[in-house]
Structure 1
Amino acid sequence: MPSHHSNGAAKASLGQLRYIPISYDSDSPDSSARALILALRPEWSSPKSNIEFTPFKDGITNTLLKAVNRKEGLSEDEIDQEAVLLRAYGHGTDVLIDRHRETQNHELLMNHGLAPELLARFDNGMIYRYIRGTATQPADLRIPAIYLAVARRLAQWHATVPCIYESRAQKNGTNGIVNGSHEITIENAAPGKPFPNVWSVMQKWIFALPTETETQRARQTLLQEELTKLIEELSQRPGLGDNGLVFAHCDLLSGNVIIEPRGSTSANREDGHKTEVSFIDYEYATPSPAAFDLANHFAEWGGFDCDYNALPTRTQRVEFIREYIRTYFSLVPNKLDGKGEETEAQKLLAEVDVFRGVPGFYWGIWALIQATISHIDFDYAEYAEIRLGEYWGWREATKCVADSTPRELSLREKRWAQLD
């Protein structure tokens, strides 16, 4: 599969972002949000201003507020043109997310016309321009016009946005702990792969798991053994992009998919009659196999309720992947004819099938950590068990194929195997 873009100038082109030395306070949401907005937009303090905040409830990690100045005489379109989004990070999530890297991701995507203008960062969040459109719900992801639009936009990310890598602090060693630190183990989680990547992210999270009880320590040991197996089995597989890695979203749930309004002036719109989408929230974006990003998105068709009957059938996955491949190869130097596109589509379909159990492992670890740090009213512990159950179900299904021993497949595995 082709190699088409590099780290290079992308990192060097990222500029300095305005910093506001104020925090959002969930105990005083209106006053702290107002202070942040007025620091950014002091003109909104005029007597004619009428600042309003609208919360968005789709996420289970951060606080997201839309801020508008509803001045008299302005139309809704005019109000939205000046609207901004204030996103405050969830409590304790720095253990999960590299916030400096998130800012880099946003700037990089902005430079490629794939993210709204990033206006400022503050002590525990960032402010960016509001994207006009409608956030999808899980059921919307099953609408062909929408999932084909997602396929096109995701292919555009993977084909045109360069990965940002970091130089390793030390290069002498690919496993173990150096000077009592986990850093080397994390950086070299996937031998030979540039850092960071989705494998190093999972390694970091496993080290962050709670270990206060014997049960917790045993679980960490088990999950470490499983990650080691996953890396051995999957990390060196060939794939799209340099080093088999692309700039991946890694959190493409419905709330992060925005349906653009009709008549949008998207620079990349091919056809005014096609549905087009944008993606938001780039905190988990990292170099990853394209197959993981697709498998993760397909898992999100079931929403937070993990409704496995809503997952895409094989026929739907084929349709999505064909649209993805057609778009991807229209944007890279290695152009293909129809036969070549179909060959690549079948290869990626098989890769996504191989990776289908990894998102459950990824989000299962994440949820175990969230269960100990989050102040949001969500049952992370139960969610962790559900998502890890998807991983174990996949392991059982692969054993069934490997040793030809009949086993009862999990509901998720049955749905994944369904043709139509």
Structure 2
Amino acid sequence: MDSDIPNGATNGDPMSQIQYIPLSYDSSNDSSNDDSSARRLILALRPEWSSPDSKVEFVRFTDGITNTLLKAVNRKPGLSKAQIDSEAILLRAYGHGTDVLIDRHRETQNHELLMKYGLAPKLLARFENGMMYRFIQGKVCQPADLREPSIYLAVARRIAQWHATVPCLHETNTGSNGVTNGHHSPSIDLIAPGKPPPNVWTVMQKWIRALPTKTEAQLKRQSELQEQLSWLVRGLSQRPGLGKNGLVFAHCDLLSGNVIIEPKGPGTNVNGAGDIREVCQNTLQQQPSVSFIDYEYATPSPAAFDLANHFAEWGGFDCDYRVLPTRAQRLEFIREYIHTYFSLVKPPAEGDESSSVDEEAESQRLLAEVDMFRGVPGFYWGIWALIQATISHIDFDYAQYAVVRLGEYWAWRDAMDGKHDKEVPLREQRWAQVE
């Protein structure tokens, strides 16, 4: 019964004030069950929506391939669309079995941290297999939108804001045996020496450990991927980069569906507070602004990985390599990113000329780093898709997607190894295209 739900119960974290609702969302294919369980969750959060004049409806979003995302609205008579949307709630139910991929406690920490910096909508409640948060008004991007200059420059500014202002969350409770909070083994946490866990390297290590190993072929595949991860860590993890320890707080999943184009007007952040510099800039220049949603994969990472991963998403789930950003587009994006990043980090001490920033030099340096990381997203999502192929109930060909994404990695690996005896794959051709 809804009346049994503790008022104001939290999610079990003493530092969190987020309400916890001990109910589940029913993700079966029966739409009546979907509506019934979603309604029960919404009314547990908003009991006033059960009034006689309320008209609760749900809108399903279909852009993602992992979670269920519903927009709950109360179409009470006399309210305008803007008024209805201002009270709308997003209900996100986790995909089946995804706890093996995602630390849900960590996801809540990420959301609360981003709320603190005005970069996430208000998190309203958690429930047994998901969460509810305020709806962000705006348009959900499609892959083609990401390729529009005004939009990709807005994305560049927002990524830079994340990387420059949000501190990395690292685990601090490490015992003498190196086990972090009892969740991981030392071999996972210490995969990249000198990089405090968690980070993008420990995430990939965790995923490789989670791969199925019931057959000889599966064991061989896991061993091969482990060997490749070790090679990547040796070659890339210790490279210098932006942020402390060469890590920034990265989104790591900036596909089109996680980018929201905000309504035109004075720039405000997703909590409505608005950074005054951004407000002035957007008002004067009428630049578009964007927000990001879904922080389940957010983790400390090299900035170059976050950017390379986003560029890979220009082609959408179809992996259309013909539309990936050319070198000129990547440089334009990175110049905007660098300009924003260094306008937000702690300014150099007055009179300290050695602390001045050569933005063009930094842009060229980051462009080269993104080039170095261009094959890593394929490796990352290829492993992810191999796991999803064994656990997901969603109608999506994860096995084939894994083949395609890992193929991107192997094409890059061949290029890194100087193998020119084969025809250059389309993705590598497009990445090398100048204009």
Q: Which amino acid aligns with 2:95?
A: G
Distance across 2 between alignment mates of 1:129 and 1:119: 7
Unaligned 5+ segments in structure 2 are: 1-12, 269-273
Q: Report the CA distance between 1:184 and its aligned residue.
A: 1.3
Q: Report the CA distance between 1:259 and its aligned residue.
A: 0.1
The one of 300, 308, 318 aligned to 1:287? 300
The one of 224, 227, 252 aligned to 2:254? 252
1:34-49 aligned at under 5 Å gives the runs 34-49=39-54
Unaligned 5+ segments in structure 1 are: 1-11
Cα contact 2:327–2:431 (8 A) shared by 1:
yes
- Indicate whether 1:369 and 2:370 are aligned: no
Distance across 2 between alignment mates of 1:275 and 1:236: 36
Distance across 2 between alignment mates of 1:60 and 1:18: 27
Percent identical: 71
Q: Report the CA distance between 1:265 and its aligned residue.
A: 4.8
Structure-2 change in CA distance of 1:36 and 1:153 (3 Å): same
1:240 alignment partner in structure 2: 242
Q: Which amino acid aligns with 1:223?
A: L
1:116-127 aligned at under 5 Å gives the runs 116-127=121-132
Distance across 2 between alignment mates of 1:341 and 1:100: 37
1:101 alignment partner in structure 2: 106
Secondary structure at the counterpart of residue 247 of structure 1: strand
1:8 alignment partner in structure 2: none
Q: Report the CA distance between 1:406 and its aligned residue.
A: 4.8
1:311-330 aligned at under 5 Å gives the runs 311-330=324-343
2:373 alignment partner in structure 1: 355
Structure-2 change in CA distance of 1:339 and 1:121 (3 Å): closer
1:23 alignment partner in structure 2: 24
Cα contact 2:249–2:301 (8 A) shared by 1:
yes
Cα contact 1:150–1:277 (8 A) shared by 2:
yes
Secondary structure at the counterpart of residue 128 of structure 1: strand
Distance across 2 between alignment mates of 1:144 and 1:158: 21
Q: Report the CA distance between 1:146 and its aligned residue.
A: 0.1
Which stretch shows the higher mean deviation, 226-235 or 266-275? 266-275
- Indicate whether 1:299 and 2:312 are aligned: yes
Secondary structure at the counterpart of residue 271 of structure 1: helix
1:188 alignment partner in structure 2: 190
Q: Which amino acid aligns with 1:95?
A: V
2:147 alignment partner in structure 1: 142
1:56 alignment partner in structure 2: 61
Q: Deviations over 1:344-363 (max 9, x none)?
A: 00000000000000000000
Distance across 1 between alignment mates of 2:62 and 2:335: 33
1:410 alignment partner in structure 2: 425
Q: Report the CA distance between 1:398 and its aligned residue.
A: 1.2
Distance across 2 between alignment mates of 1:168 and 1:338: 37
Secondary structure at the counterpart of residue 69 of structure 2: strand
Structure-2 change in CA distance of 1:182 and 1:263 (3 Å): closer
1:262-273 aligned at under 5 Å gives the runs 262-266=264-268, 267-268=274-275, 269=278, 270-272=281-283, 273=286
Q: Which amino acid aligns with 1:195?
A: P
1:373-412 aligned at under 5 Å gives the runs 373-400=391-418, 405-412=420-427
Cα contact 1:302–1:311 (8 A) shared by 2:
yes
Distance across 2 between alignment mates of 1:414 and 1:167: 43
Q: Which amino acid aligns with 1:352?
A: V
Q: Which amino acid aligns with 2:313?
A: E
Distance across 1 between alignment mates of 2:408 and 2:173: 33
Q: Deviations over 1:29-50 (max 9, x none)?
A: 0000000000000000000000
Give the structure-2-normalised TM-score: 0.89
Distance across 1 between alignment mates of 2:14 and 2:149: 37
Q: Deviations over 1:55-114 (max 9, x none)?
A: 000000000000000000000000001000000000000000000000000000011000
Distance across 1 between alignment mates of 2:408 and 2:322: 13
Distance across 1 between alignment mates of 2:267 and 2:184: 47
Q: Report the CA distance between 1:16 and its aligned residue.
A: 2.2
Cα contact 2:267–2:282 (8 A) shared by 1:
no
Task: Please report the RMSD computed on the Cα atoms of aligned residues, expressed in angstroms.
Answer: 1.9
2:208 alignment partner in structure 1: 206
Q: Report the CA distance between 1:186 and its aligned residue.
A: 0.9
Secondary structure at the counterpart of residue 358 of structure 2: helix
Q: Report the CA distance between 1:333 and its aligned residue.
A: 1.8
1:3 alignment partner in structure 2: none
Structure-2 change in CA distance of 1:331 and 1:151 (3 Å): same
Distance across 2 between alignment mates of 1:373 and 1:204: 16
- Indicate whether 1:419 and 2:419 are aligned: no
The one of 54, 78, 88 aligned to 2:93? 88
Distance across 1 between alignment mates of 2:289 and 2:267: 11
Structure-2 change in CA distance of 1:329 and 1:13 (3 Å): farther
Q: Report the CA distance between 1:338 and its aligned residue.
A: 9.4
2:359 alignment partner in structure 1: 341
The one of 158, 166, 176 aligned to 1:161? 166
Residues paired across the two proteins, number: 401
Distance across 2 between alignment mates of 1:360 and 1:169: 31
